[in-house]
Structure 1
Amino acid sequence: MLSQRMLYNLEARLHFVVKGVGCVQVVSRLCPGCGQVVANAFPRKSSLAQVPQAVQATGQGHTCNVLKALHCAATASFHWQAKQNISAMYEYQAGVQTAGVTVEQLDFPTLVLGEGPYWIESLQALMLADVYSNILRRRFYPSGRHQVLHLDSTGDPLDVITAAIPVEGERDVFVGVEGKHISFLHWAPYDPDDHNTTTAIIHTTKDYAFNDAKCDPQGRLWAGTVAPLDENVQVTEVNTSGLYRMDGKLEVTKWATASLSNGMDWSVDRKHFYYVDSHTRTIDAFDYNDRSGAISNRRVILDFNKAGLRDQFPDGMAIDVDGNLWVASFGGHQVICVNPRTGRILRRVNIPAKNVSSVCWGGPDYSTLFVTSGTLGMTPEEIAASPSSGGTFAVTGLGTKGLPAAQFRVNFLQLQAQQQVAVRRRQG
Structure 2
Amino acid sequence: MDAVVQAAIQRRQAAITAFLSIESIKQTDKEKRLGLLSFAVPVKGDTEIFVVGCGSNVVIIKWDSYTNIDFPPYYVLNSPHRPDDPLPLGNRLGYGSVDYAKRLYFATTYDHPDNHARNLGSVYSLDTNGILEKKMWNLGSVTGGFVWDLARRRNFFSLREHRSAKFYYADTLNNYILGYDFSTNNGDLDRREELFEFLHHQENSAPGRMAIDNRGWLWVPLLGRHRVIELNPFDETAHRVIHIPAVNVGGCTFGGPNWDILYVSTIGYKHNYERPPGDEGGHIFAIYGLQVKGVPTREYSLSSVVLGQASIELGEITSLLTRGERNSRIRRYRGRGSSHA
TM range (shorter): 0.7 to 0.9
Correspondence 1:260 to 2:142: yes
Correspondence 1:245 to 2:125: yes
Distance (Å, rounded) in 1 between the aligned partners of 2:271 and 2:175: 22
Cα pair 1:149 1:187 within 8 Å, conserved: no
> Judging changes above 3 Å, is the alpha-carbon distance between structure 1 residues 412 and 228 closer, same or farther for their aligned structure 2 residues?
same
Q: List structure 1 segments (4+ residues) > 4 angstroms apart after TM superposition.
A: 378-382, 414-417
Correspondence 1:356 to 2:249: yes
> Judging changes above 3 Å, is the alpha-carbon distance between structure 1 residues 392 and 127 closer, same or farther for their aligned structure 2 residues?
farther
Distance (Å, rounded) in 1 between the aligned partners of 2:305 and 2:32: 33
Aligned to 1:286: 180
Aligned to 2:11: 125
Cα pair 2:103 2:300 within 8 Å, conserved: yes
Cα pair 1:328 1:359 within 8 Å, conserved: yes
> Judging changes above 3 Å, is the alpha-carbon distance between structure 1 residues 390 and 412 closer, same or farther for their aligned structure 2 residues?
same
Aligned to 2:116: 236
SS of equivalent to 2:259: coil
Distance (Å, rounded) in 2 between the aligned partners of 1:291 and 1:340: 23
Match of 1:324 among 217, 227, 239: 217
Distance (Å, rounded) in 1 between the aligned partners of 2:118 and 2:34: 19
Distance (Å, rounded) in 2 between the aligned partners of 1:124 and 1:291: 26
Correspondence 1:409 to 2:307: no
Cα pair 1:321 1:400 within 8 Å, conserved: yes
Match of 1:366 among 233, 236, 259: 259
Distance (Å, rounded) in 2 between the aligned partners of 1:274 and 1:148: 27
Aligned to 1:295: 189
Distance (Å, rounded) in 2 between the aligned partners of 1:396 and 1:195: 36
Gaps of 5+ in 2: 82-86, 152-163, 310-341
Aligned to 2:40: 164
User: Cα offset for 1:394?
Assistant: 0.9
Cα pair 1:324 1:338 within 8 Å, conserved: yes
Pairing 1:211-226 to 2, within 5 Å after superposition: 211-226=94-109
Q: Tell me the amino acid that sits aligned with residue 320 of structure 1.
A: D
Cα pair 1:120 1:127 within 8 Å, conserved: no
Distance (Å, rounded) in 2 between the aligned partners of 1:127 and 1:386: 30
> Judging changes above 3 Å, is the alpha-carbon distance between structure 1 residues 149 and 413 closer, same or farther for their aligned structure 2 residues?
farther
Which moves more between the two structures, 330-339 or 254-263? 254-263
Correspondence 1:313 to 2:206: yes
SS of equivalent to 2:234: coil
Correspondence 1:345 to 2:238: yes
Pairing 1:29-428 to 2, within 5 Å after superposition: 121-123=7-9, 125=11, 127-128=13-14, 136-137=17-18, 150=23, 154=30, 156=32, 159-192=35-68, 196-206=71-81, 207=87, 208-230=91-113, 235-257=115-137, 258=139, 259-269=141-151, 271-310=165-204, 312-375=205-268, 383-413=275-305
TM-score w.r.t. the length of structure 2 is: 0.74
Gaps of 5+ in 1: 1-118, 130-134, 139-146, 418-428
Distance (Å, rounded) in 2 between the aligned partners of 1:362 and 1:383: 29
User: Cα offset for 1:381?
Assistant: 5.7
Distance (Å, rounded) in 2 between the aligned partners of 1:304 and 1:157: 37
Cα pair 1:354 1:386 within 8 Å, conserved: no
> Judging changes above 3 Å, is the alpha-carbon distance between structure 1 residues 213 and 237 closer, same or farther for their aligned structure 2 residues?
same
> Judging changes above 3 Å, is the alpha-carbon distance between structure 1 residues 405 and 288 closer, same or farther for their aligned structure 2 residues?
same
Q: Tell me the amino acid that sits aligned with residue 107 of structure 2.
A: G
> Judging changes above 3 Å, is the alpha-carbon distance between structure 1 residues 126 and 184 closer, same or farther for their aligned structure 2 residues?
closer
> Judging changes above 3 Å, is the alpha-carbon distance between structure 1 residues 354 and 366 closer, same or farther for their aligned structure 2 residues?
same
Cα pair 1:150 1:197 within 8 Å, conserved: no
Percent identity of paired positions between Structure 1 and Structure 2: 25
SS of equivalent to 1:406: coil
Q: Tell me the amino acid that sits aligned with residue 252 of structure 1.
A: L
Aligned residues: 280
SS of equivalent to 2:41: strand
Q: Tell me the amino acid that sits aligned with residue 280 of structure 2.
A: S
Instruction: Give the RMSD, CA atoms, in angstroms.
Output: 2.7
Distance (Å, rounded) in 2 between the aligned partners of 1:221 and 1:339: 26
Structure whose CA Rg is larger = 1
Q: Tell me the amino acid that sits aligned with residue 148 of structure 2.
A: W
Cα pair 2:10 2:297 within 8 Å, conserved: no
Q: Tell me the amino acid that sits aligned with residue 330 of structure 1.
A: L
TM-score w.r.t. the length of structure 1 is: 0.60
User: Cα offset for 1:261?
Assistant: 2.3
